[in-house]
Amino acid sequence: MAISTQRASTSAPSASPWKYHVFLSFRGIDTRRRFTSHLCHRLWFRSITTFRDDNELVRGTAISPNLLRAIEESRIAIVILSPNYASSSWCLDEVSKIVECKDVDTILPIFYDVDPTDVRKQEGTFAEAFNKHKKNFKKDKAKVQRWRAALTKVSNISGWISKDRDESELINEIVEEVCNKVHPTIFTLPGSSTKLVGIDFRLKKIELLLDREAKDVRFIGIWGDGGTGKTTIASLVYDRISHHFDVSYFLPNVREVYAAHGLIHLQKRLLSPILKERVNEVWDVHSGATMTKYCLCNKKVLLVIDDADQLNQLEVLAGKKDWFGLGSRIIITTRQEHLLIEHDIEERYELLGLQDSEDFLPHKRDEPEGDLNLQLPKKLPNSIEDRKDESQRKYDEPTKVQSKNDEQVGKVPNAVEDCVNMDSPPKVKVCVGCKQNIKDRKYYRNGKGTHQWHPHCFRCHACNLPITEFLMHENHPYHRLCHRERHLRCGVCENLIPLNSDGTVVYSLHPISLQRSCPKHEDDGTPRCCGCARIKPRNTIYYLLNDGRHQCLECRDTAITEADQCEALFLEIQKVFDLKFQEKKFLIHFVEKTEFLKVSEHILLSGKPPEVTAIKILSGLPRLRTGLTMVRTTMGAWLEVKCYRIGNMSPQVKIDMSQVLAHMWLEFVMNSGSAFEKKLGNFYQRRIESDSGEGFRLGRKAVLKHGLRQTLDHIAMTGSLPLVD
């Protein structure tokens, strides 16, 4: 009896030339009850249709025509080569047929308790088996030779060796490889290699919203008018990714079923395939919701609720995120966006329709066939500017902290019409996209007329797909979602930065790394680097110091972590500025954060006139920041000792001169460091300049005019900065 296994699930039907995903060739006495059985179960669990022949007890000498046909109708063949595999003529016929009709990349060999060399050279148990075959098939030596050749070819294909491997781990690895091969990518039609330009773009947007690598539970809403392709898109997504989930279910026609049968019927339809049995225990909506949560709360779920039109449908079929296990994705299609908003679904995608036939076919160019060899650049070097009156245009400002992301900035049809050159065209106009002369009177050009494009060469700067409605960013056009994905995705949690109710996007921008982040991360406890203040991105390693502070790897590379490093840096600073202010030596306390905060004063003084006994320096900071702290502290110590007799000296002078020397220190050292140190130094310099007042600027002018030594001597005598013209 030939058995095929397929996991029950609901999805959109898809045409395919393959009846089975996998044909399994194995020797029953070696692997049927253990390895093969477990492998089949895992394939079934991942929605892989598998043909496995279990009729070995009544096998004859000739292979069944059904098996030959099953091999031809299977997309992939898994060959489990075990010690007794070659003793079965039936197995050898199977592998010969597999080699005959399958490409190398669709044959997956597993060397189960055998050495690939024994299979390749027919040694060991394989030699014993072929000695018997030579006797039994004296009149058909060609068949034996085909068997040998087939085994040799299969053994030369990269596969898996079971020796010293955990069997469960091995099976999971095989299943993942099979899933990657048999499930088409999200961007192709079932059973077709045709790439869909219009659908391709929409599916990319959905995939970005799904973010399957994230471990959270995520609800995604697809909304738009009837007939715009919401169900088609959801079905394609479901077909392509359902094998990645523990439980997957597509619940179609919710609006119609609800109107005809009510909520309880919908709950039963959802639960029956999950429990793999008819559900009769749902007596009311509450019991159905409770059972749904109970069944799914610890599973990674893909659930598509198609064509919802009532809020209560969402509440009882997919109530809250805690109904589902980590990694779950819930996709809801509807005509009404307000349902998604009321159900707190943040990731929403408006589907505008698939009206034109070009949405379903590869993009065609208007040039003669000979021009098709020209390669369009992936990114346009420049972009058009809509020549409408400024008062009628709304441009995105992504460099600002508040960004009007979802405004409709321009439409290509209008831009085309406005860019028609009604005057006599120049002799040569070259499209910056395809580098060909523009001969048509309709073309795009930028505001200054320095760049022109064919209409079909005007494409999104991010995805390189044709563009109609666009946003402009740094003189490049973007689809709205492409722009948000590229420029408005949080660098910490990697989610899209949420929109405010007025359509603006507010985010925090790190001044060194230019990392954008959701405002919530400012106070949600996410670790922050103690050196550059960058919030820790997800999946990024930060070094944890003994006192609980965190440090990014860039800052860690130049961090001062040892006392001798600190002393060497202090001597370097003394040499640069010659700030010797007492004969008696003092200590440098290189301390952690808890010790550093015990005393508010970091210059420890004693006696009259004052003497510096110690300077406290916080450990674990980057070299530049440690040097800044040391320069400021040393300058403060110098002023404390030299100016103690000046009773009316303003404390602001100490602050200003400390900032002046810190700025000078950065200029002296940062250009000799790494690229990151240069950025860090520039950041510290800008911060000093912005945080300081007029006294800092007067101090810099005084040092530039009189020199550092004369400026400090004047302060030591008068308690004030020298005059500057």
470-517: pLDDT as tens digits:
666 666 677 777 766 666 778 888 888 887 777 677 888 888 888 888
The C-alpha atoms of residue 23 and residue 5 are separated, in whole angstroms, by 11
Phi-psi region at 236: left, alpha or beta (left = phi > 0; alpha = psi -120 to 50):
alpha
Which of the residues are catalytic? 94
Q: What's the pLDDT score for residue 328?
A: 92
**Which of 401-410, 450-459, 600-609 has the weakest average pLDDT?**
401-410
Which has the higher per-residue pLDDT, 212 or 392?
212
Q: What's the pLDDT score for residue 459?
A: 77
pLDDT greater than 60 at residue 285: yes
Percent pLDDT > 70 in the chain is: 74
Local structure of residue 372 (DSSP, 8 states):
G
Helix (H, G, I), strand (E, B) or coil at 242: helix
Q: What's the pLDDT score for residue 364?
A: 35
Query: Residue 591 corresponds to which tokens in the numbers above?
Result: 């301390």
pLDDT greater than 80 at residue 136: yes
Q: Which residue has the tokens 């602050």?
A: 655
In degrees, rounded to 5, the angle at the alpha carbon of residue 456 between the alpha carbons of residues 455 and 459 is 95
The C-alpha atoms of residue 332 and residue 188 are separated, in whole angstroms, by 22
545-576: pLDDT as tens digits:
888 888 888 888 888 888 788 888 888 887 77
213-269: pLDDT as tens digits:
788 899 999 998 887 888 888 888 888 888 788 888 899 999 998 888 888 888 888
pLDDT greater than 70 at residue 9: no
Work out the mean pLDDT of the chain and round it to a whole number. 75
C-alpha separations of 370 from 198, 374, 439, 466, 569 in Å: 25, 9, 16, 21, 67
Residue type, 72: E
Q: What's the pLDDT score for residue 193?
A: 40
**Which of 46-50, 154-158, 196-200, 605-609 has the weakest average pLDDT?**
196-200
pTM of the model: 0.39
Contact in structure between 175 and 451 (CB atoms under 8 Å): no
Q: What's the pLDDT score for residue 504?
A: 72
Displacement of CA 637 from its chain's centroid (Å): 50
- In a 13 Å sphere around the CA of 692, the CA atoms on its Cβ side amount to 25
Partners of residue 249 on adjacent β-strands: 303
Q: What's the pLDDT score for residue 470?
A: 67
Q: For residues 50-75, b (16+ Cβ closer than 10 Å) or e, as one string?
A: bbbbeeeeebeeebeeebeebbbebb
The C-alpha atoms of residue 544 and residue 552 are separated, in whole angstroms, by 9
Query: Residue 413 corresponds to which tokens in the numbers above?
Result: 């049809």
Contact in structure between 266 and 291 (CB atoms under 8 Å): no
Q: What's the pLDDT score for residue 366?
A: 36
Query: What is the chain's alpha carbon radius of gyration, rounded to the nearest angstrom?
Result: 36
